[in-house]
Structures are given as C-alpha cells and as structure tokens.
Amino acid sequence: MCPTLPDDLIAYRRHVGDRLRSTREGAGLTQQQLAERAGLDKQAVSIIENAHSSPKLDTLWRIARAMGTTVAELVNDS
C-alpha cells in the first residue's frame, strides 16, 4: 500500500509540473523534443508535468539545462 502524500506536497508537484510545461511551451518545444535534449524519454517529461512523481534533482538539472534555464526557475513558487 502506498503512503498517502500530504496535500501541500501534491500541490507542489503540480506547481513544478505546471512551471515545466509553461517553460517548455514558451521555448516552443514538444515533450519529445525536450526529452531528447535532456537525454530522457518522453514519458519522464510527461510524468513530471502531470505531477505523477517527484523528479530527482539530476533530472530537473538536465531538463533545466536543456531549456537554458535553472532548476531554481523550475521549482520557484513565487
């Protein structure tokens, strides 16, 4: 049985996913294009954007670098 996640963690996952999606779309990239640039598969990008999992720091770093931004920009809650 999976442990229940706190509501604020779920909300933060959604926030990060939304930031990733808006940054990706602003860069004119598809999920597939971003995945290829970051050395990931498309499913990994989709999982993060849809808040189904918390990404590892290494994954966020690769994504941020592939889009020419920083991890801080992707996770900032302001």
All domains of the chain in start order, with CATH = 7-75 (1.10.260.40)
- Cα angle 65-20-11, degrees, rounded to a multiple of 5: 135
pLDDT of residue 76: 87
pLDDT of residue 2: 60
Q: Fill in the DSSP letter of residue 52.
A: S
Question: What is the residue whose two structure tokens read 């049985």?
Answer: 1
Question: What is the residue whose two structure tokens read 């990931």?
Answer: 40
pLDDT of residue 78: 63
pLDDT of residue 73: 93
Listed residue (44, 67, 64, 63) closest to 54, CA to CA: 44
pTM of the model: 0.87
Tens of pLDDT along the chain (78 residues) come to: 567 888 999 999 999 999 999 999 999 999 999 999 999 999 999 999 999 999 999 999 999 999 999 999 999 876
